[in-house]
Structure 1
Amino acid sequence: EFGRRSLTLWPQWLAWWGFEHCFRQRGSLVLAHGADRVELERFSGQLRRRLGQRADCLRTCAAAELEPDLAGFEHALFLREEGQIDTHAVMAHLLEYFIDSGGQWRPATAVDEVEARQLSIAGAREDFDWVFDCRGLGARQSIPQLRGVRGELLWLCAPEVDISRPV
């Protein structure tokens, strides 16, 4: 449910900052070679069971219907409602906005401890109006229940292939 709510919230937030160009909602494709068709059908079934009445956002199709350059794939699942954020661009814009607004940015700074409005850096405490903890799993010592969420992204440069959505 958070994902569906985010599809409404992110465009609003990005428009407020003037970054609306960083969001696209063209759906996503899940592809399968012929030998993997059963796996694709199983994955589709799992999604339909989870989504219930919202399963209309899924459609089995030939990839070429949506992406002509993927004509070799006869089996694909189209998740129509999925959206994408250009996180690299958003983070660059947010950093610029933050600094222009008077924020202090200290990249690659070893932080010993984070508390409300206070940081401990190299044994010295510093006070701030706001503190954003961006240590990731580096904060595990302070937050033992913290767990990593795996997210992988692969950027390919293939000028001869024209694809307009995540695959």
Structure 2
Amino acid sequence: MDEEAAAGGPPPAHTDDVEIGGYAFDFLFAAQDASTSSLCWAVSALDAHSDVLARVRAEVAALWSPDSGEPITAAEMRYTQAVAREGFRDPAAFDPDRFFSEERRENVACRRNFLAFGAGAHQCVGQRYALNHLVLFMALFESVVDFRRDRTEGCNDMVYIPTIAPKDDCAVYLKQRCARLPSF
């Protein structure tokens, strides 16, 4: 920037104070708010896709019950894991089935397109933790409570706060689904 200014040229692209400030916020809040943002978008996506919600609930119910007293694990929840990893060729389309199609194999063909956790030697050490956290949240959330969201026009529009979140903050109303809440 200093070299361009000394030469009388315009500042390099993407170097104004607002954009640099945005990068700093992204860096500072990425780890802290990424999980919160992911959980919020998971609730939003499940609310918007009742067929996916029903499949997540069916998968979890087949593997675990809140009344069992047993711990819940993410290892066998293949469909719920696919929901947590959703996005590829058409990121606006919510289609967890892309992970199970031998013809499409988008999770293999596009594995380098989705780098939320980086890749190679610099891959985020928290990737497995973050994905397990999201899968277990969805499993518990869908097993333990029913939720209702007041959907309004544009409620899923993105806002930057400094991570992305639904415009309506994804406020939901909860009602207990199981006879008793699990205690681990």
TM-score interval for Structure 1 and Structure 2 normalised by the shorter chain:
under 0.3
Higher-RCO chain (CA-CA 8 Å, sequence separation at least 6)? 2
- The structure in which a higher percent of residues are helix is 2
What is the TM-score when the length of structure 2 is the normalising length? 0.24
